[in-house]
Structure 1
Amino acid sequence: MEGCHAEINSGLDSFEQPDLLQPQLVQLPETLVMGIELRAQQPNQQPNQQPNTARFSQLWNRFLAEQMQLDIADSINAERLYGLYTDYSDDCRDYSLILATEVCSIDNPLENMVGIAIPAGCYLRFEAIGAPADAAAQLWPQIWRYFEVTPAHQRACTTDFELYEPQQTSIYIALKRW
């Protein structure tokens, strides 16, 4: 963990934009999740644009309406929901969105579900209080702005995720180590 802080903290100190939230550098252990997947393709789009918003909303609505997290026997806490962005293409434009809950095992995924390990590593955590969908929508533009003005910090394009808890939303962005 110290290596993660030593490599990145100086850049965090220089990011003084009063109109933006300040991210926190965190070192996370591996986390296992299980849920449903959608492949998002963004041809001819910038990586920070969201042309798949309607498809994502439909997937979230289905996941929540069917209470899929309650069907997962190995679920650790069904109130904590994850929105993972993973399996990125080389240019970070195409990726998989997985709506999931944390589990103790991914060995036997339910039919039409996938199990994935969120890799251990250095992440920047951006947080917001409020309704989950609203909080995430407010955070993403700030995250894109952060990476525009802080070129020393580069996304790893491995697995980024939104963590939805009853009163708080956090978005974790995986960072490259250099």
Structure 2
Amino acid sequence: MVCCEHVARGVAGCYMQVCHGKYGPLKRIQPGDWVAYYSPSTQMGGKDKLQSFTAIGIARAGDPYPFDMGGGFIPYRRDVDWLPAQPAAILPLLEQLDFSRGIRNWGAPFRFGLFAISPHDMQTIAKAMAADRSNSPALHPIQATQSSLFQRLYMQAKHVEGFLVSGLSTRTKNSDEFNPTTAQIPKLWGRFFSEGLMDKIPERIANSPIYGVYSGYESDANGQYDLTAGVAASSPSGDFNHVAIQAGPYLVFETRGAMPAAVIQAWGNVWAYFEQNPQIKRSFISDYEAYLGPNEVHIYIGVAAE
């Protein structure tokens, strides 16, 4: 049982991580075992009832291994070949699954974090998710997974002229965002939208998209950074925070889909892209999300000039 946001990161990186990074549960999984993720919510501690199976795959050969995520958190992971699949809601499947049929408190087994299910149940889940690795039998599963992940994520290079964004800011780091008690980003966006601040910034440029700007990086993706939720502005305002978008080269990742799941998956794919292309260096000066509609977001990642 893992929130959809964390599942997207695991699928993008071709790994699984359970029970707060414990070694023991992963050791029980053997190479060739099928595994499926169930997500009760989109974000960790979220109140939305996603209640869906969100990933399914096959464990690769090899043992669990430690991975340093920064901030002193070193969880264990196991590599998985995730299959092309679609999320499947659990409620229509409750009477079809052995572990939930006729059971009122069907969610109880998920509290263990990882538990075994019957081959029948795994087949039922795979069918509901339309999991398929037969499209290209000669294709290595990881390649098939990458094709599936990127089918709705489009990337291009652009030169961006600098501009100003005004809004609300917070300072955080990714390791804090994994914990709902320390996460700041949901609170920031919640206040931004609940107070209608996009329409209250007096210097707002007409028809500006809503931006989420990442700046003030302490080091890299593991260090602290500032996040500003706001709109493009013609000049700073004393009532709001402001941040300058650095002019220069950016890689732009465009994605469409239901929010916030689409942007969460997009970030997972962005991180995977830079892991797989180490020759392309991020600048860690300013990055930003541009929300161009209710179901479309463009993620701009600043890169070092060649």
TM-score range for the pair, normalised by the shorter chain length: 0.7 to 0.9
What is the rounded CA distance, in whole Å, between the counterparts of 1:78 and 1:139 in structure 2?
A: 24
Q: Equivalent residues in 2 for 1:79-90 (5 A)?
A: 80-90=209-219
Q: Deviations over 1:33-82 (max 9, x none)?
A: 1011101135xx5xxx9526742111101100101111111111466111
Rate the CA distance shift 1:94–1:125 in 2: closer, same or farther, 3 A.
same
Is 1:28 equivalent to 2:157 in the alignment?
Answer: no
Q: Equivalent residues in 2 for 1:34-73 (5 A)?
A: 34-42=166-174, 45=175, 50-51=177-178, 54-73=183-202
1:123 pairs, out of 234, 250, 269, with 250
What is the rounded CA distance, in whole Å, between the counterparts of 2:179 and 2:285 in structure 1?
A: 19
Rate the CA distance shift 1:156–1:133 in 2: closer, same or farther, 3 A.
same
What is the rounded CA distance, in whole Å, between the counterparts of 2:173 and 2:204 in structure 1?
A: 29
Q: Which residue of 2 aligns with 1:170?
A: 298
1:102 pairs, out of 217, 227, 232, with 232
Question: What amino acid sits opposite 2:202 in the alignment?
Answer: A
In the alignment, is the contact (CA less than 8 A) between 1:30 and 1:117 conserved in 2?
Answer: yes
In the alignment, is the contact (CA less than 8 A) between 1:77 and 1:101 conserved in 2?
Answer: no
Q: Which residue of 2 aligns with 1:11?
A: none
Worse-matched range after superposition: 63-72 or 85-94: 85-94
In the alignment, is the contact (CA less than 8 A) between 2:216 and 2:286 conserved in 1?
Answer: yes
Larger RCO, structure (CA 8 Å, separation 6 or more):
1
Structure number, greater radius of gyration:
2
Q: Which residue of 2 aligns with 1:7?
A: none
What is the rounded CA distance, in whole Å, between the counterparts of 1:30 and 1:132 in structure 2?
A: 27
Query: How many residues get paired?
Result: 155
Rate the CA distance shift 1:79–1:64 in 2: closer, same or farther, 3 A.
farther
What is the rounded CA distance, in whole Å, between the counterparts of 1:168 and 1:62 in structure 2?
A: 21
Rate the CA distance shift 1:102–1:52 in 2: closer, same or farther, 3 A.
farther
Rate the CA distance shift 1:146–1:122 in 2: closer, same or farther, 3 A.
same
In the alignment, is the contact (CA less than 8 A) between 1:37 and 1:97 conserved in 2?
Answer: yes
| TM-align CA RMSD | 2.1
Is 1:143 equivalent to 2:270 in the alignment?
Answer: yes
Q: Which residue of 1 aligns with 2:99?
A: none
Question: What amino acid sits opposite 2:251 in the alignment?
Answer: L
SS of aligned partner of 2:288: strand
SS of aligned partner of 2:191: helix
The TM-score with structure 2 as length reference comes to: 0.47
Worse-matched range after superposition: 85-94 or 66-75: 85-94
Question: What amino acid sits opposite 1:57 in the alignment?
Answer: P
Is 1:18 equivalent to 2:147 in the alignment?
Answer: yes
Q: What is the identity percentage for the equivalent residue pairs of Structure 1 and Structure 2?
A: 32
In the alignment, is the contact (CA less than 8 A) between 1:32 and 1:105 conserved in 2?
Answer: yes
2:288 pairs, out of 152, 157, 161, with 161
What is the rounded CA distance, in whole Å, between the counterparts of 2:179 and 2:163 in structure 1?
A: 26
What is the rounded CA distance, in whole Å, between the counterparts of 2:158 and 2:177 in structure 1?
A: 26
Question: What amino acid sits opposite 1:169 in the alignment?
Answer: V
What is the rounded CA distance, in whole Å, between the counterparts of 1:52 and 1:66 in structure 2?
A: 25
